[in-house]
Structure 1
Amino acid sequence: MYFDIAYYFRVLRHVWSLKQWPGKRGMLFRLLLVVPLVSAFHALCFLLDYVFFPRLWRQTVERPVFIIGHARSGTTLAHRLLAADGNQFSYFLYWELFFPSLLQKKLIRALGRLDALLGSPCLTRLQRWDDKTFGPTRHIHHMSLWNAEEDQFVMRAAFVTQQWALDVPMMDKIDLFHLDQMSDKKRRRWLHHYRECVKRQLLLNGGERTHLSKNPLMCGWVAALQETFPDARFVVMLRNPNECIPSTLRLLELSWKGRGWQPEQYRESLRVMTEISFESIRHPREVLAGHDQAVFVDYRKLVAEPRDTVHEVYAALGLTVSPSFDAYLRAQQDRERNHQSRFTYNIDDYAVSVDDIEGELSELFDEYQWPRLSRRSDLVKSVGP
């Protein structure tokens, strides 16, 4: 199993350099003891997968579907609408991302069946924990151990994860976004490990389905994904940047503030994230221009007409909508149209301004006819999923 030693030592050096941070001792404990032990355990299980599940040697990843787009642009909504077509797609549930090995997931599922025979005491406790942990923020992003989630998180065992930059503001220290610009060796290693994780998930779900992925981070991985999966298909979500960029910055700031960091300590990370935001919108369009297996979806249409939009996506990707899935889409139509988010932000709170966003992405504002904010009363917006 792959482990990015260079990133590991980069994070370790940065945490070691922090002088007055109260959480330094705990973070060093995680980095110096927990990470090596957990990664060694995952590596052992990864190896045993090929011993206990010989079908893994023959498992292929054919024509995967990648849903990408700037964070808060509707990638989650698109992912969960398509994931409901369970006969078509295989995907990672959130709890499965913590266990990259097929052996681990098989054992946990077996324990789940045993728990059900005993009246589900463990499941009941997990559901209570799930509601307590994720319930307060579900109006922002509906998380649950049993929801389909971003499958790049499965690479955390390889230390290829932004979690450390969420715990400690260091997006200016580690770069997980610009994979297309990294060395051939780095791209091959990251994507080989990712493919191995996907193969295991496919086999867990029967081996015959299509892998479905949703990752805003992978807006910077598009060329590398094409190299690794030449038959890959892409769904690119697009939303008014005046809405999704400040919303993403707000979520990051809330994460860092919740861990006790001060604005001056995460200012540089917010600047880096702002630059990545612009690239998240431009880069997929540049790489996928003329690609016949890529479809670009306007967030407004997905929210207003989810059923029709999914039908268009399926047609563009050469997929067939089954009668049962179509019935599900009909039931979701009114629900999504009536959805109102309670998460708000004020664009004045950030270094990035309306002028910055509309200047950087002017051609897209013209192409998609996104409203350009001009009045001060327009600057506070409700943000959807």
Structure 2
Amino acid sequence: TSRLILGKHDAANAWRESILKYSWSCRNNFIVGICFKQWMRLVWKFKHCIDWKEYSFRVGFVSCLSIINSCLSTIEFIIFGNKIRQTIQEVSRNSDKEHPVFILGHPRSGTTLLHNLISFDSDQFYICNTFCAGFPSSFLWFESIGKVLLSRLIDTKRPMDNMKLSFELPQEDEIATSVMSGGISPYFCLPFMRNHEDFHDFFSFNSSTTSKESRETWTQSFLELYSKLKLRSQRNASAQTSCLPGSNEKKRALLKSPVHTSRIQLLLQMFPNAQFIYIHRNPYEVYASAKHMAVTTYPYVYLSVPTEETVDEFIFKQYEILWNDYFRDREMILSSNKRALIEISYSELCHDPMSSISKIYEYFGWNPWSPEFRTKLEDIVCTELRSYKKNEFQTHPREISDEISRRWNDSILQLGYEFCS
């Protein structure tokens, strides 16, 4: 018994040390784009949850950047404030004329790969890139300068899977909305992992415990981001002399954030003609990849040191929330006459990316591929994807496999995967 206790104690210490080795890192932290007022509110609200001894440097670093972000935001407001307000009003007034596309799926299910591939069709889509997601309060004027000045804030590859990472590449819009709203997002489960349940209401905003104020704050933040991305796309299009007048009006937003999987109802209320692509992956593989991401990526963001058991519970609970909300809304869309949702598997996308993308285009009736898009897609598939090596994970311990089978039972059955024996 004493050996068992010592073994658990050693494992807990090793886990803690593996986290704290990142405590002085300034990289790969999505919070760095937050403004001062929103940041101070968060710090004050969770002041008793922060491990100040371990993370005082990180809090100080983000605090300094938040002051800079507020200054940059003020400049953007002076330059673009009226135009942003006009665009928000236009989008709100004509929401039925907006046709955004949302890529859904649990984290580690292939959403990034799918997002990257479709984003090459720049004739039909505009995106939220990594800089816009990271610094949403100032990108309309600061993007070209900031990409140079702040380049050291991110690695050249993602810590969890070695996929390319740069300010130019597509990124999750929820990163931007999470800091614009002052932490009203499930993404803030990560810095405050020990208190992750405090943020569960922000998955769907449909819970009986979700405040009306939180829902409205998130909605306003998302609408502002959406309008700014549209404004950015219009400006970029007008700067291209080869662009035909009015061609940007045909472009639609291509957005990807796994937490949107819980928000189909809310997003359809905002954009009645939105379309959704749901990508799924074998749940046992999802868990392994999610745990790997928790070990390699989450420590860049932590403001409190969680136990391994807390992180495991977060992985399980997040999957359950996303799946239950999606399955509820899935039936509503599939039973309607609108072609608003298509489902594909990660294995299908990896096996034949060209056919998978073609299938999506045909289903929604999007414009045919341009020669430029086809060439880019073929080049990526034939070079980068073929040479890319996916992570290989060890077999789950029996107790983890049993827990996946028990807690994720419904998704395994509904999506047609086999139970791990």
Quickly name the TM-score band, shorter chain normalised.
Answer: 0.7 to 0.9
Aligned to 2:112, what secondary structure does the other structure show?
helix
2:344 alignment partner, one of 285, 297, 302 = 297
Runs of 5+ consecutive residues of structure 1 not aligned to the other structure: 113-121, 375-385
Correspondence 1:174 to 2:174 = no
Following the alignment from structure 2 to structure 1, what is the Cα–Cα distance between the partners of residues 164 and 375?
Answer: 23
Correspondence 1:66 to 2:102 = yes
Residue 309 of structure 2 corresponds to which residue in structure 1? 267
The 5 Å alignment of 1:268-347 reads: 268-291=310-333, 292=338, 293-324=340-371, 325-335=373-383, 338=386, 340-346=388-394
Residue 26 of structure 1 corresponds to which residue in structure 2? 57
Aligned to 1:231, what secondary structure does the other structure show?
coil
2:171 alignment partner, one of 128, 132, 149 = 149
The 5 Å alignment of 1:192-231 reads: 192-206=220-234, 208=249, 209-231=251-273
Residue 132 of structure 2 corresponds to which residue in structure 1? 96
TM-score, L = length of structure 2: 0.72
In the TM superposition, residue 33 of structure 1 has moved relative to its aligned partner by 6.3
Identity %: 17
* 1:295–1:5 CA distance, 2 compared to 1 (3 A): farther
CA RMSD between the two structures: 3.7
In the TM superposition, residue 252 of structure 1 has moved relative to its aligned partner by 1.4
**Conserved? CA contact 1:304–1:336, under 8 Å:** no
Residue 73 of structure 2 corresponds to which residue in structure 1? 42
Runs of 5+ consecutive residues of structure 2 not aligned to the other structure: 1-33, 235-247
In the TM superposition, residue 169 of structure 1 has moved relative to its aligned partner by 2.7
Following the alignment from structure 1 to structure 2, what is the Cα–Cα distance between the partners of residues 17 and 357?
Answer: 29
Deviations 1:212-231 (A, max 9, x none): 10111222222211221121
Correspondence 1:106 to 2:174 = no
Range that drifts further, 158-167 or 300-309: 158-167
Range that drifts further, 134-143 or 70-79: 134-143
In the TM superposition, residue 55 of structure 1 has moved relative to its aligned partner by 5.6
**Conserved? CA contact 2:158–2:165, under 8 Å:** no
Correspondence 1:372 to 2:419 = yes
Corresponding letter in the other structure for 2:296: L
* 1:210–1:261 CA distance, 2 compared to 1 (3 A): closer
In the TM superposition, residue 196 of structure 1 has moved relative to its aligned partner by 1.2
Corresponding letter in the other structure for 2:193: P
* 1:346–1:281 CA distance, 2 compared to 1 (3 A): farther
**Conserved? CA contact 1:237–1:296, under 8 Å:** yes
Deviations 1:91-139 (A, max 9, x none): 11101223324x6423444x59xxxxxxxxx85x877x48x82347374
In the TM superposition, residue 323 of structure 1 has moved relative to its aligned partner by 3.1
* 1:334–1:363 CA distance, 2 compared to 1 (3 A): farther
Corresponding letter in the other structure for 1:106: W
Correspondence 1:51 to 2:77 = no
Following the alignment from structure 2 to structure 1, what is the Cα–Cα distance between the partners of residues 90 and 383?
Answer: 38
**Conserved? CA contact 2:204–2:266, under 8 Å:** no
Aligned to 1:271, what secondary structure does the other structure show?
helix
Following the alignment from structure 1 to structure 2, what is the Cα–Cα distance between the partners of residues 36 and 162?
Answer: 24
Following the alignment from structure 2 to structure 1, what is the Cα–Cα distance between the partners of residues 192 and 308?
Answer: 9
* 1:152–1:18 CA distance, 2 compared to 1 (3 A): closer
Correspondence 1:354 to 2:401 = yes
Corresponding letter in the other structure for 1:320: N
**Conserved? CA contact 2:36–2:70, under 8 Å:** no
Corresponding letter in the other structure for 1:64: P
Corresponding letter in the other structure for 2:182: F
Corresponding letter in the other structure for 1:159: G
Following the alignment from structure 1 to structure 2, what is the Cα–Cα distance between the partners of residues 337 and 38?
Answer: 36
2:48 alignment partner, one of 16, 39, 47 = 16
Aligned to 1:237, what secondary structure does the other structure show?
strand
Aligned to 1:372, what secondary structure does the other structure show?
coil
Q: Aligned residue pairs: how many? A: 357
**Conserved? CA contact 2:265–2:329, under 8 Å:** yes
Corresponding letter in the other structure for 2:341: A
Deviations 1:134-190 (A, max 9, x none): 347374443211111111111213323566543453323433424232344422321
Corresponding letter in the other structure for 1:134: T
**Conserved? CA contact 1:63–1:232, under 8 Å:** yes
Following the alignment from structure 1 to structure 2, what is the Cα–Cα distance between the partners of residues 323 and 234?
Answer: 22
In the TM superposition, residue 191 of structure 1 has moved relative to its aligned partner by 1.5
TM-score, L = length of structure 1: 0.78
Following the alignment from structure 1 to structure 2, what is the Cα–Cα distance between the partners of residues 204 and 104?
Answer: 9
Following the alignment from structure 2 to structure 1, what is the Cα–Cα distance between the partners of residues 322 and 387?
Answer: 26
Corresponding letter in the other structure for 2:80: D
Following the alignment from structure 1 to structure 2, what is the Cα–Cα distance between the partners of residues 174 and 10?
Answer: 12
Following the alignment from structure 2 to structure 1, what is the Cα–Cα distance between the partners of residues 158 and 136?
Answer: 28
Corresponding letter in the other structure for 2:171: E
Aligned to 1:343, what secondary structure does the other structure show?
coil
In the TM superposition, residue 54 of structure 1 has moved relative to its aligned partner by 7.5
